């Protein structure tokens, strides 16, 4: 009887593991958390591509297509701007570190 309980427990643990691993892997909750902080440009481009396909197949009206496309392009522009601001912040921090390292080297 004990063997059956242990086997069932291991089976339940294995099933839970297989169900929960995708959420904590690269494409699961980690990717969701990454996109919450900043929308990935790739997703915006994919959405615009799907929108264009819908427009070509006459699934949406021309007015809806243009308004949605404009909003996606606005999102892409904001995402690019945010990434450039982060790059500028990193560059400033690197320059500060380099200047401190340069003054430390010349002071010796």
Write the DSSP assignment of 37-57 as a string of letters. HS--HHHHHHHHHHHHHHHHT
Compute the mean pLDDT over every residue in the chain, rounded to the nearest whole number: 79
| Tokens 């915006």, residue located | 44
CB atoms near residue 44 (< 10 Å): 20
Lowest mean pLDDT among 12-16, 63-67, 69-73, 79-83: 79-83
Residue 36 half-sphere exposure, CB side, CA atoms within 13 Å? 6
pLDDT at position 25 is 64
| Residue 4 predicted with pLDDT over 80 | yes
pLDDT at position 7 is 92
pLDDT in tens, 55-65: 999 998 999 99
Give strand ranges (E) for 14-107: none
Lowest mean pLDDT among 19-23, 42-46, 67-71: 19-23
Report residue 22's pLDDT band, with 50, 70 and 90 as the boundaries.
confident
**In angstroms, rounded to a whole number, what is the distance separating the alpha carbons of residues 104 and 102?**
5
**In angstroms, rounded to a whole number, what is the distance separating the alpha carbons of residues 52 and 37?**
27
């Amino acid at each position: 009887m004990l063997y059956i309980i242990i086997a069932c427990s291991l089976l339940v643990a294995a099933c839970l593991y297989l169900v929960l691993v995708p959420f904590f892997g690269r494409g699961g909750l980690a990717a969701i958390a990454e996109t919450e902080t900043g929308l990935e440009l790739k997703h915006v481009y994919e959405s615009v591509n799907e929108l264009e396909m819908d427009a070509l197949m006459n699934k949406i009206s021309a007015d809806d297509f243009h308004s949605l496309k404009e909003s996606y392009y606005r999102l892409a522009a904001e995402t690019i701007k945010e990434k450039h601001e982060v790059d500028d912040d990193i560059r400033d921090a690197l320059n500060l570190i380099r200047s401190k390292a340069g003054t430390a080297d010349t002071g010796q």
